[in-house]
Amino acid sequence: MTMLGDSRDATAYDQAVLPYGDMWRHHRRLMHNVVGSQAVRNHQPIQDNEIKILIGDLLERPEDYVKAIERYSVSVVSSVGFGRRIDRMDDTVAKVALKFMEGVDMAIPGLFIMESIPFLLNLPKIVYPLARTMKDSSVQLKAFFTSLAHEGASETSLPNFSTMLIQEQKESNLSDDEIAFLTGNLIGGGVDTTASTTLSFIFAMCAFPDVQRKAFEEIDQVVGQNCMPDWTDKESLPYCAALVSESLRWRTVTILGGIPHAPIQDDVYDGYNIPKGTWIAGNVWSIHRNEQDFPEPDQFNPDRFLEERRPFPNKKGHSAFGWGRRQCSGQPLAEQGLFLTFARLLWSFEMKPALMQDGREEKFDIFAFSQSENMRPEPFNVRFIPRNEERASTILHEVRAARETLAPLNRASSVAKPRFV
C-alpha cells in the first residue's frame, strides 16, 4: 500500500515502492525478521488459537462469517505487529485495517488523473480536493501507526514487531516515519490476502462439492474424529495443502500483482523497448488462467498441484504473491495460516450454499467477484453445518482454552483513531 503518504514520501519510506538500495534492503531484512519463512514459526501459537476462535465464531454465529474471518485476519497481524489481539471488529485497529482494504484500489494504474498530471497534487483543496484529502489522511495514518508501535513496544513484554523496530531505532536511527510504514504495511498487506482468500475458498467448497468431499476423505483418514488438524499433520495432508495453492491460483486476491513494478534501467523484452521507470503491472488473472500451465483454469482443481505438470516459473506453482525481490514479504505467514484454517474448516463443517424459500440451494456464479484491485467473492450465503455433534463439542472446548491462552494479548489501546476512519 502507498496510502500512508504522497508520492515523494512513499518513495522515501515505503518498502513497497522504495528503489532498490540500502534502505530497501534494510526494510526488507526487518520484515523478513518478523514474517520470513523461519520467523513465522514463532507465530504459530497465535494463529493456532485464533483459528480455533474463528471456527467457534462460525459455529455459533455463521451468519456473521465475513466479519469473523476479517476479525481473525486482523487479530493475527495486530498480535504480531503490536502485541495486542482484536476481539471485536469495532476495535480501532480493525477499523483502520478495513480502511486499508477499501483504499487498495488506489494502486490500480491509471485510475487517477494526477498520476499522469502530477502538478495536480499541488493545487488547492478547493480546486482538486482528492489529492489534499489523501495527503491529510496520510499524515493521520503515519501518526496513528507511529503511536501504536511505541505503545506496543512499551506496554507489553510479549515479543512483537513494534518492540523490534523501536530497538532498531535506537541502534540504527530508524525514523518514526519508517516505523509507521513498516507496521502499516504489515496491516495493509497482511489482512486482505488472508481474509479474501479464505472467502474464496469457502465459496469454492460450495461451488465444487466434489472437491470438498475428497478433502473430507483425506482429513478423516489422517486426523480422525477426536482432535482438530495441526501443522504436524501437513505432510500427511497433501490434498489440503494443494487446496491452499489452488485457492491462491483460482481467485488470486491481487489480480494485478499489487504495486506496479518498474525497471531501474532501459530494457528490451521480446522486441519491446521498456524505458527506465516504466510502470509494469502483472496481469495475474491472465497468468493464472494460461491453459498451458493450468488446463481448464475455471475449474477449482487442487489435483493440478499434486500431479507432474509443465514447470511454472517458480517452485510455488503460482504467482499470487508477486515476483522476484519484491515478492510479498508476508507470504510465509499467510500460507501458514491458510493451511490450518482450511484444514480445520473442513474437519469442522460441511460448507453448503444457503437454501432458498423453495428449499433448493442457491446457485453460485463462479465469476461473481468484486471488480477491484483486491478481489473477493460478491456477498454469498453459506451454511456451516457441523460434521457431527462430537466435533461441535470439541470446537467449543478448544475455543475456551484458546481464549485463556490468548488472554495476555487482550489489552486496550489509548491511541486515537484517525479522523477519517
Which domain range does residue 280 map to? 7-409
Is residue 420 domain-resident? no
Please check whether residue 386 is in contact with residue 65, taking contact to mean a CB–CB distance below 8 angstroms: no
Nearest Cα residue to 94 out of 78, 79, 108: 78
Please check whether residue 402 is in contact with residue 384, taking contact to mean a CB–CB distance below 8 angstroms: no
Residues 6+ apart with CB under 8 A from 303: 242
What confidence score (pLDDT) does residue 104 get? 63
Q: Residue 381 is placed in which grid cell? A: 450465503
Rounded Cα distance, 338 and 76, in Å: 12
Is residue 415 domain-resident? no
Q: Which residues pair with 261 in a beta bridge?
A: 280
Burial of 171 (0-12, 13-18, 19+ CB in 10 A): exposed
- Tally of domains within the chain: 1
Q: Provide the sign of the torsion angle of the four alpha carbons 260, 2, 65, 329, taken in this order.
A: positive
Any idea what the Cα angle at residue 216 is, between residues 307 and 207, rounded to 5°? 80
Rounded Cα distance, 296 and 312, in Å: 16
DSSP label at residue 369: B
Is residue 418 domain-resident? no
267 sits in which H/E element: strand 267-269
What confidence score (pLDDT) does residue 4 get? 44
Rounded Cα distance, 148 and 91, in Å: 13
Rounded Cα distance, 294 and 95, in Å: 38
Convert the pLDDT of each residue in 294-344 to its tens digit.
999 999 999 999 977 666 888 889 999 988 888 888 999 999 999 999 999
Is residue 2 domain-resident? no
Rounded Cα distance, 39 and 189, in Å: 17
What confidence score (pLDDT) does residue 279 get? 85
Mean pLDDT of the region 75-81: 96
Residue 286 has pLDDT above 70, yes or no: yes
pLDDT band (50, 70, 90) for residue 110 = low
What confidence score (pLDDT) does residue 45 get? 97
For residue 386, how many C-alpha atoms fall within 13 Å in the half-sphere facing its CB?
17
Q: What are phi and psi of 190, to 5 degrees?
A: -100, -10
Q: Residue 263 is placed in which grid cell? A: 525497471
Convert the pLDDT of each residue in 230-285 to its tens digit.
999 999 999 999 999 999 999 999 888 778 888 889 999 999 999 998 888 889 99
Query: Cα torsion at 80, 242, 261, 281 (round to 10°)?
Result: -130
Of residues 70 and 98, the one with the higher pLDDT is: 70
Q: Provide the sign of the torsion angle of the four alpha carbons 52, 57, 62, 66, taken in this order.
A: negative
- Amino acid identity of residue 82, one-letter, is F
Residues 6+ apart with CB under 8 A from 236: 222
pLDDT band (50, 70, 90) for residue 103 = low
Nearest Cα residue to 353 out of 378, 383, 379: 383
Nearest Cα residue to 81 out of 29, 14, 149, 144: 149
Residue 10 has pLDDT above 50, yes or no: no
The CATH number of residue 405's host domain is: 1.10.630.10
Residues 6+ apart with CB under 8 A from 353: 206, 361, 362, 363, 364, 380, 381, 382, 383
Q: How far is CA 298 from the centre of its chain?
A: 22
pLDDT band (50, 70, 90) for residue 3 = very low
What percent of the chain has a predicted confidence (pLDDT) above 90?
Answer: 65
Convert the pLDDT of each residue in 39-48 to its tens digit.
999 999 999 9
Convert the pLDDT of each residue in 83-94 to its tens digit.
999 999 889 888
Is residue 263 domain-resident? yes
pLDDT band (50, 70, 90) for residue 15 = confident
Q: Residue 173 is placed in which grid cell? A: 536511527
